[in-house]
Structures are given as structure tokens and as C-alpha cells.
């Protein structure tokens, strides 16, 4: 077993062990992938301020996210097709998050269904919602999430229309994969993945197949999904979803100060500053560049989380220093899942917590709530305010 020291180690194993179409699905962005790349590279421009001769004992990374206690302010973001990275992937990721004491958000486009994950976990998890045109399906899936005792609804706002990801088109992405000559050759070299998939019945979008009218198999699913994202989603519809849900609400995909102010006035438990991991609007600024301006716009009116680009505990620290209350990881935990299943997700979380803990100490902080702008050095011209 190779020694795992960082998320990049898990990423290399993920690439070696998972079919190309699913690895590429996770490790890609839309169009030229400029925003996808800058989400991570922009973090490297922020530097940490080292402090010495301070008491570093009795450190704590414990915090809250949307009022829920967490062992560190890092949640597992909703990621589609997670069950294609590793057999029963959503169940395994949810279990790892539960044991670690951090939130897990199940995607609408998951392979394992809401009911599957609820059956195999002991504590509530969050559910992420894409707004579909089919009102019967929309109301049904919200009610299913309520019945499963999900503790928050993560409503994604930045996917009313799907950004084009070239790799997915070239690879012929589907779940389950279509058995072409090139696909069969790829699968033959990923025997761990293949054995896992042979041992599970979960190979399609479990939240949709059998629940949406007229969707009974993979072929009918793809045509249904292609037509269903609601391009008319607006604040009036969001209000109706909030009222139907009736619980904690997190609005994900906010990347503009004006939108952030609207979300804060609307009334929600948190907003997530996110560009969908660079998978939607290519050419948008990175989440970390937009964060300070959004913090300035809404102050403490609403809890601010950051998603997109985090690959280390140092990145978490930098996001907190620039005003985020908490963070979310997607690709970082997916690399762990694709590499080693549930143990890999646990390893990814452990790597990030250790990096966060040690970096926090070397910055002179013992309590994660004390991290602030004084802990970082930000280059002149870094933030979004300089793009006018």
C-alpha cells in the first residue's frame, strides 16, 4: 500500500483505479477549464503569516455549519455520479463523513438513492436539490428527503442550464457506462472497480429512475435529464421550495455580491460561494477571489461557506481567514473514494484536518474561530474589487 501524504497522492491512485470517463468527469471543468484551474491556483497566491513563541497547546478545529456541530468546518459537497467512482460510493462517503463528524450532502444526481444512504447511516445527512421542471418529481424528492430525516436542503442555484464539459462528450459519459471497444479495454485494466460494480445493484441514478414519470432505465433517464433543468428558476420559485421544505436551507452557487445580498435578505441558513468547481461558467473568477467582496457585501447577515478549489488544510485556513465560516470539498474526497473507497474518504478528511491543525498552530492560533485576516498575506490586486 503506498504511503498517502496529501490529496495529490489519492488523486494519482484514483486515476489509476477508476475508469477514465468517471475520473475525467470529476477532474474537469467546462470549455477551456480556465476557472477550473484558477480555483486551485489562486489559493497559492495567498500566503500564511507565521507566528512563534506562542502557546500552541490544546488546539481545536471544532465548529458549526448551518448551526450543526462539526469536528472541523469542512463538509463533503454534493457530487453527482459518486457511486460510479466506487461501488456504493455515496453510502461509503456518507459513512466516512458521519464517523469523522462532518456534513455529507447527497446529490440529486447520485447513484445511491436518498433511501439507500439513510438505510446505511445512523445520523442525518444533507440533501442537495437541482430544480427540475417536473413539479410532481420536485415535490416528491423534497418529501423523500424529509422522510429520510435529512437535516438541511442544499439548493443549487448555478445549474439551470448545463455547462459543456468537453471530456464528458468525448468519453461518452453514461451511468452505467456503454460497453464500446474502448470502454471495455479501459474497464479491463480497472479490475478493482469492476469487481466492486459486479457486487452492487446500484448502477443508475437512484433518486430518479423509478421515481420520475416515464423514467425506468438509462436510455429514458438521459433524455429526461436533458430536458428537466428548470431555466425559469427565480426567487419566487426558491421561496416555494423553502416553504415546502420547511427546514434548514443552504443556497449554493452564489458568486456575485448582489446575489449574495439578495440571498441574505431572502432568509437562509447559509450561502455557499461557489462556481460549481469551474464546471459551469468558464471565465468566471475563482471562488476564493470572489469571497472577500461577498463577505463585504453581506457582513454577518448570513453564514458564508466556500466551495471550489480546496485541496488542503492550508486552503481551508486561507478561506476562513478571508471571511468564510466554513468550507466544502468535492474533488478532494472523490479522489479518496476512487482510490480506496470509504477508507480513502476518511484518509482525505484526515489529511486535511492534520494540515489545518498544524498550519493553524504555526500561525499562532489554537481556536479555529480566531482565524482571520491577520493570519494571511494577500497580494495587491488579488480580490474581485480590482476587476472593473
Count of domains in the chain? 1
Confidence label for 387 from pLDDT (cuts 50, 70 and 90): confident
Q: Is residue 2 part of a domain?
A: no
Confidence label for 172 from pLDDT (cuts 50, 70 and 90): confident
Q: Is residue 17 part of a domain?
A: yes
* Cell 424529509 found at: 146
Confidence label for 185 from pLDDT (cuts 50, 70 and 90): confident
Cβ pair 212, 137 in contact under 8 A: yes
Phi, psi at 126, each rounded to 5°: -90, 160
- How many angstroms separate the CA atoms of 139 and 226, rounded? 19
Cβ pair 39, 31 in contact under 8 A: no
Summarised one tens digit per residue, pLDDT across range 121-170 is 999 999 999 999 999 999 999 999 999 999 999 999 999 998 999 998 88
Q: Is residue 386 part of a domain?
A: no
Q: Is residue 314 part of a domain?
A: yes
Q: Is residue 383 part of a domain?
A: no
pTM strictly above 0.85: yes
Q: What CATH number has the domain bearing residue 226?
A: 3.20.20.70
Residue 138 belongs to domain spanning:
7-377
Catalytic residue among 14, 86, 276, 325: 276
Annotation says 276 is catalytic: yes
Q: Is residue 16 part of a domain?
A: yes
Cell of 132: 427540475
Q: Is residue 260 part of a domain?
A: yes
Q: Is the pLDDT of residue 363 over 80?
A: yes
Say which residues have a Cβ less than 8 Å from residue 23's Cβ, sequence separation at least 6. 14, 15, 85, 338
The pLDDT, as a whole number, for residue 252 is 98
Q: Is residue 382 part of a domain?
A: no
Chain mean pLDDT for the chain: 95
Confidence label for 351 from pLDDT (cuts 50, 70 and 90): very high
Say which residues have a Cβ less than 8 Å from residue 25's Cβ, sequence separation at least 6. 81, 84, 165, 167, 168, 171, 173
How, if at all, do strands 47-48 and 376-377 pair?
Answer: antiparallel
Amino acid at each position: 500500500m503506498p504511503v498517502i501524504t496529501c490529496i495529490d497522492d489519492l488523486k494519482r491512485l484514483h486515476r489509476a483505479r477508476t475508469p477514465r470517463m468517471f475520473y475525467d468527469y470529476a477532474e474537469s471543468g467546462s470549455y477551456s477549464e480556465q476557472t477550473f484551474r484558477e480555483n486551485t491556483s489562486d489559493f497559492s497566491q495567498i500566503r500564511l503569516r507565521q507566528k512563534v513563541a506562542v502557546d500552541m497547546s490544546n488546539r481545536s478545529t471544532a465548529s458549526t455549519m448551518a448551526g450543526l456541530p462539526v469536528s472541523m468546518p469542512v463538509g463533503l459537497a454534493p457530487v453527482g455520479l459518486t457511486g460510479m467512482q466506487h461501488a456504493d460510493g455515496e453510502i461509503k462517503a456518507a459513512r466516512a463523513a458521519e464517523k469523522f463528524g462532518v456534513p455529507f450532502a447527497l446529490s440529486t444526481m447520485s447513484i445511491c438513492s436518498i433511501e439507500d444512504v439513510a438505510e446505511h447511516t445512523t445520523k442525518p445527512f444533507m440533501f442537495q436539490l437541482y430544480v427540475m421542471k417536473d413539479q410532481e418529481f420536485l415535490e416528491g424528492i423534497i418529501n423523500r428527503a424529509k422522510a429520510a430525516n435529512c437535516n438541511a436542503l442544499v439548493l443549487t442555484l448555478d445549474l439551470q442550464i448545463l455547462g459543456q464539459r468537453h471530456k464528458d462528450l468525448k468519453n461518452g459519459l453514461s451511468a452505467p457506462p456503454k460497453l464500446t471497444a474502448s470502454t471495455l479495454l479501459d474497464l479491463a485494466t480497472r479490475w478493482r472497480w469492476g469487481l466492486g460494480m459486479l457486487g452492487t445493484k446500484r448502477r443508475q441514478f437512484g433518486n430518479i429512475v423509478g421515481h420520475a414519470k416515464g423514467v425506468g432505465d438509462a436510455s429514458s433517464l438521459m433524455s429526461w435529464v436533458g430536458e428537466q433543468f428548470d431555466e425559469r428558476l427565480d426567487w419566487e420559485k426558491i421561496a416555494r421550495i423553502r416553504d415546502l421544505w420547511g427546514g434548514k436551507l443552504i443556497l449554493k452557487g452564489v458568486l456575485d455580491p448582489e446575489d449574495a445580498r439578495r440571498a441574505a435578505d431572502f432568509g437562509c441558513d447559509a450561502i455557499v460561494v461557489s462556481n460549481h468547481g469551474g464546471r459551469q461558467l468558464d471565465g468566471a473568477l475563482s471562488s476564493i477571489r470572489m469571497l472577500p467582496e461577498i463577505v463585504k457585501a453581506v457582513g454577518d447577515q448570513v453564514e458564508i461557506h466556500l466551495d471550489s478549489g480546496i485541496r488542503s488544510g492550508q486552503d481551508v485556513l486561507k478561506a476562513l481567514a478571508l471571511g468564510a465560516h466554513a468550507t466544502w470539498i468535492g474533488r478532494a474526497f472523490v479522489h479518496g473514494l476512487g482510490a480506496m473507497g470509504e477508507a480513502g474518504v476518511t484518509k482525505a478528511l484526515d489529511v486535511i484536518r492534520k494540515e489545518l491543525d498544524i498550519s493553524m498552530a504555526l500561525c499562532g492560533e489554537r481556536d479555529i474561530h480566531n482565524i482571520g485576516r491577520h493570519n494571511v498575506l494577500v497580494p495587491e490586486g488579488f480580490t474581485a474589487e480590482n476587476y472593473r
